[in-house]
């Protein structure tokens, strides 16, 4: 079975502190991977996508960066958090028919 694991489940961080969120895909080789950000009850904003290891495309500029160090791993990070970074972060992959499979998400609160 293909699964998406995200870590941590939730984070409370101070403004100006660094952040690293992780996503691991199991059961699917060479997946297309995506990071999304969602304000509480709001729309899904695609942040980054990656087709292969070492390659990441940025969709919007939110003072965040992403990396794909392994085929099954996608990392979202920043060196300095802003209040506006608070929200729900979702990792997703697609299948051959363009269906998006989302992970359980990470809830980030920046204080």
Residues that bind other proteins (CB under 8 A): 32, 34, 41-44, 46, 49, 51, 57, 59, 90, 92, 94, 97-105, 107
Furthest CA-CA distance within the chain: 40
In this complex, which beta carbon is closest to other proteins, that of residue 29 or of residue 97? 97
Q: Do residues 38 and 90 lie in contact, with contact meaning Cβ atoms separated by under 8 Å?
A: yes
Among 45, 38, 44, CA closest to 87:
38
> Buried b / exposed e across 64-82, counting CB within 10 Å, b at 16+?
bebbbeebbbbbbebeebe
Output 13 or 107, the one with its CB closest to other proteins.
107
- Residue nearer to other proteins on the CB measure, 24 or 46: 46
Minimum distance, C-beta of residue 20 to other proteins, in the bound complex (Å): 19
Minimum distance of other proteins from residue 74's CB (angstroms): 14
């Amino acid at each position: 079975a293909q699964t998406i694991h995200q870590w941590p489940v939730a984070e409370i961080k101070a403004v100006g502190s660094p952040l690293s969120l992780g996503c691991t895909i199991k059961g699917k080789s060479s997946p297309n991977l995506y990071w999304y950000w969602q304000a509480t009850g709001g729309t899904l904003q695609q942040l980054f996508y990656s087709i292969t290891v070492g390659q990441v495309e940025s969709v919007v500029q939110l003072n965040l960066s992403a990396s794909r160090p392994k085929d099954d791993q996608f990392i979202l990070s920043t060196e300095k958090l802003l209040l506006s970074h608070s929200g729900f972060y979702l990792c997703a992959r697609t299948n051959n028919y363009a269906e998006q499979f989302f992970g359980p998400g990470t809830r980030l609160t920046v204080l």
